[in-house]
Amino acid sequence: MALIVQKYGGTSVADLDRIRNVAGRVARTRAQGHDVVVVVSAMAGDTNRLIALGKGAATQPSEREMDALVATGEQVTAALTAIVLEGMGVPAQSFMGHQVRIETDRTYMRARIRRIDGESLRAGLGRGAVAVVAGFQGVDDTGSITTLGRGGSDTSAVALAAALAADVCEIYTDVDGVYTADPRIVPKAKKLARIAHDEMLELASLGAKVLQIRSVEFAKRYGVKVHVRSSFNDSEGTWVVEEDPSMEEVTVSGVAADLNQAKLTLVRVPDRPGIAAHVFGPIAEAGIVVDMIIQNASADGTTDLTFTVPRDDYDKARKTLDAVARDIGAETVRGDLAVAKVSIVGLGMRTHAGVAARMFDVLSKAGVNIQMISTSEIKISVVIDANYVELAQRVLHEEFVTA
């Protein structure tokens, strides 16, 4: 007997027929003698609908109340799943975040988990019931409902698996695993049998939508075995696992693209100590995450400072930077929303020389101009014109994965 956590995304529970399909899979797992904790997302489209309602109710709705609103999507799915299971003769009980006691900080709409008290779940499992947990939500120390940000149900599932010392966390979605690139863009993309935590972390942070990055962080930190697979077939998916030496034999494991990018340039900034802190301090205080940064010093004692932010934060970042520019005496601020980030990821980059040169050469031959470059031990990212993002993915996949 094993303890298995199964997470089902919005497309897997999009309507009652799909919830019945999920319930059937859960029932089969339980019939094999396993204890099962099910974590569910809201039905596909429900979260967007609820967010639209909140924004329609007020120009700037309270984040605390928005969390109370959008968390109802998962509450509906959890209750319906438990009802369907009970109707099939399978004992089940739904749990909201506060009933499990998933404690978080007070950062509404993107809260971080502090601890999980799994006693109520263990008690339910001890009675022979399937525990159906509303994903994406928790509770802060004041008793207010919080949510974990987009994709937060993945984090809920892996965190619960860690807290309960589950044997495996199965992430069920509408794709059957992790691919070397987006198959809709790169027809030759291949499903990976396994991928290391660090590689998955990089791909998740670079635009791959299969797993939410914080869920991978939990999996790595607590040694949770994660199996990404489809809820619509029984095929083996992709295992997200601890690194082993054989993985470095493959130079590049995947190609990822992120269109949620915007570029800002502070032109002719006085080149003196403390300027970078003066620029990025207000950006950080505004809650904006900065990604890539490039500084180009000139002989006249000024420098151009270019960086990228999520496209959703562009307006806020531009407004903040305009004020900073006036304060420090910069010439002007330039912005560009028509950019994208394309990356290659692989453990093998640690031991294979010349990867960056090959990447730049391939993009050059395809007529793709590189605007910014960022590297880590197992990743190379470039910012390019958004019009070339699909071409860049295909030629890089052909060079490093298909060949």
pLDDT means over runs of 10, the chain (403 residues): 96 97 97 97 96 95 97 98 98 97 95 95 96 98 95 95 97 92 92 92 81 91 94 93 81 93 94 90 92 86 92 94 93 96 93 93 97 93 97 97 81
Angle, alpha carbons 40-110-207 (nearest 5°) = 80
- pLDDT at position 403 is 66
Note whether 212 and 154 are within 8 A (CB). Answer: yes
Question: Which residues, including other chains, have CB under 8 Å from residue 359's CB and lie 6 or more apart?
Answer: 344, 380, 382, 396, 399, 400
CA distances from 182 to 36, 258, 329, 379 (A): 31, 11, 44, 17
Chain Cα centroid distance, residue 214:
7
- pLDDT at position 205 is 80
Burial code of 291-305, b = ≥16 C-beta within 10 A, e = fewer? bbebeeeeeeebbbb
Nearest to 115 by CA among 106, 123, 104, 107: 104
Residue type, 21: N
Tokens representing residue 37 in the block: 């904790």
- Strands annotated E in 271-358: 293-297, 302-309, 332-336, 339-345
| pTM of the predicted protein model | 0.85
Question: Which residues, including other chains, have CB under 8 Å from residue 199's CB and lie 6 or more apart?
Answer: 247, 253, 254, 345, 346, 347, 378
Sole residue written with tokens 């998916």: 237
Calpha distance 399→396 (Å, rounded): 5
Calpha distance 358→364 (Å, rounded): 10
Calpha distance 336→263 (Å, rounded): 5
Calpha distance 162→397 (Å, rounded): 34
Helices 152-164, 119-126: axis angle to 10 degrees equals 70
